[in-house]
Amino acid sequence: MFPLLCNTAEEKTNPSSYEFGETWFDSNKDNMLKCIDLTCLASQSAVTKPVQMKLTAIIDAKICKILSDVILKGHTEELGSWLQSIAENRSKVVQEVSFLDAEQQKHAICAIRRLIDVFSNALKKQINVLVDAEYDDINPAINFISTNMMLLFNKNAPVVQCTYQCYLKSSYNSLRQDMEFCKHFNIHFGAKVVRGAYLESERIKAQKLNMESPVFETWQQTNKNYNKVIAKLIEEISKNKKCHVMVASHNKESIELSVDFINSLGIERSSPQILFAQLYGLSDHLSLWLAKNGFQVYKSSPIGSVDETIPYMIRRANENNSVIQNSRGDRTLMMQEILSRCLFF
């Protein structure tokens, strides 16, 4: 079992972070570089070395919202060529774009350069960066930037990977679209598959805007979609060496289904293309069972200052209420184990 390190930075809102300058984002980039170095040290024997990154720690969430609106309107050509020109002209002046004002462009250019620093470092040190999915109204920008970075960094390894939130009705189609994109350019594709952490806020936002909710109505629908997404990826992995998945879940049924599917397709349990992950401190019995049976298992572990880590952990605790309630099951299992050992001696 290995750590999956993540930076704990929580985005600052109102006023947006870039209005204070680039210092906060620069320090988040430095922390990501530290995560990469620590992963090299801590996971020396791991076949695959992933780290987790929140894009809004590097680029302001309000800019992501503007870019997402541009993408949803279908104006992706100008944005795509702008990203490429920033990547190509690292120290030179970059062309202007119509959808951001001068201040916003300055921040976005700094942010893309920070990202390129992180991914270049990851490529050099053979680390994979799993980019978190966030709120639905900024995810289009996160996904667009990440898939454009894949073009630069994923020629020989899945250095940049996206996250798919299966509570989103659109998630299966987004996954298929990104898989096709990578196949078309003959590059590696990697997906972290989660159920999604912002359920309530997505619903409230949709209600306020009088729009259809982007998330499924029931947990059962989310589960069905999660299992469908995982099945699609594992099936693809059985015939495509350039496809990779991280099953990031505490759900016993989804984990068992994944294991059955891996076994039935004759895929090596220790394949570097299939990873499992749970949050540090949660569902340890599942993580241990997977590791004991030869699968590659990671525990998502936040690192950062106390000031930043506490709000991060509070948010995660709120999001994972159902999983934490299930940890009563973990405690029962631990008690059974202690008793069985005491009785044995």
Q: Which residues contact ligand FAD (rule: CB under 6 A)? A: 4, 132-133, 163, 165, 167, 194-199, 215-216, 218-219, 222, 248-251, 277-279, 300, 319-320, 322-323
3-state secondary structure of 87: helix
Question: Toward ligand FAD, which CB reaches closer, 63 or 168?
Answer: 168
**Which own/partner contact pairs does 26-35 have at CB distance under 8 Å and 24+ positions apart?**
26/114, 28/57, 28/58, 29/58, 29/114, 29/117, 29/118, 31/7, 31/303, 31/304, 32/7, 32/57, 32/58, 32/118, 32/129, 33/117, 33/118, 33/121, 34/303, 35/5, 35/6, 35/7, 35/303
Nearest-angstrom CA–CA distance, 336 and 339 = 5
Question: Toward ligand FAD, which CB reaches closer, 239 or 328?
Answer: 328
Question: Toward ligand FAD, which CB reaches closer, 107 or 192?
Answer: 192
Question: Toward ligand FAD, which CB reaches closer, 25 or 216?
Answer: 216
Task: Output the smallest distance, CB 85 to ligand FAD, in A.
Answer: 29
Spatial neighbors of 306 by CB under 8 A, at least 6 apart, are: none
Question: Toward ligand FAD, which CB reaches closer, 288 or 338?
Answer: 288
Task: Output the smallest distance, CB 231 to ligand FAD, in A.
Answer: 15
Terminus-to-terminus CA distance in the chain, angstroms?
A: 28
Task: Output the smallest distance, CB 128 to ligand FAD, in A.
Answer: 13
Residue 243 identity: C
Helix ranges (H only) for the chain are 23-42, 61-72, 76-88, 102-124, 139-153, 171-184, 199-208, 219-237, 252-264, 284-292, 306-319, 321-344
Task: Output the smallest distance, CB 176 to ligand FAD, in A.
Answer: 19
Task: Output the smallest distance, CB 199 to ligand FAD, in A.
Answer: 5
Nearest-angstrom CA–CA distance, 69 and 76 = 10
Please report, for residues 205, 237, 255, 318, the alpha-carbon distance to residue 231 in angstroms, rounded to integers and kept in the order given: 31, 10, 11, 29
Peptide bond connecting 15 to the previous residue in cis, omega within 30 degrees of 0: yes
Task: Output the smallest distance, CB 167 to ligand FAD, in A.
Answer: 4
Question: Toward ligand FAD, which CB reaches closer, 104 or 287?
Answer: 287
CB distance 226 to 254 below 8 Å: yes
- Written as six digits, the tokens of 284 are 């340890």
Question: Toward ligand FAD, which CB reaches closer, 140 or 196?
Answer: 196
Question: Toward ligand FAD, which CB reaches closer, 147 or 251?
Answer: 251
Nearest-angstrom CA–CA distance, 90 and 112 = 10
Nearest-angstrom CA–CA distance, 175 and 296 = 22
Nearest-angstrom CA–CA distance, 243 and 337 = 38
Task: Output the smallest distance, CB 329 to ligand FAD, in A.
Answer: 12
Question: Toward ligand FAD, which CB reaches closer, 129 or 277?
Answer: 277
Task: Output the smallest distance, CB 14 to ligand FAD, in A.
Answer: 22
3-state secondary structure of 135: coil
Task: Output the smallest distance, CB 84 to ligand FAD, in A.
Answer: 26
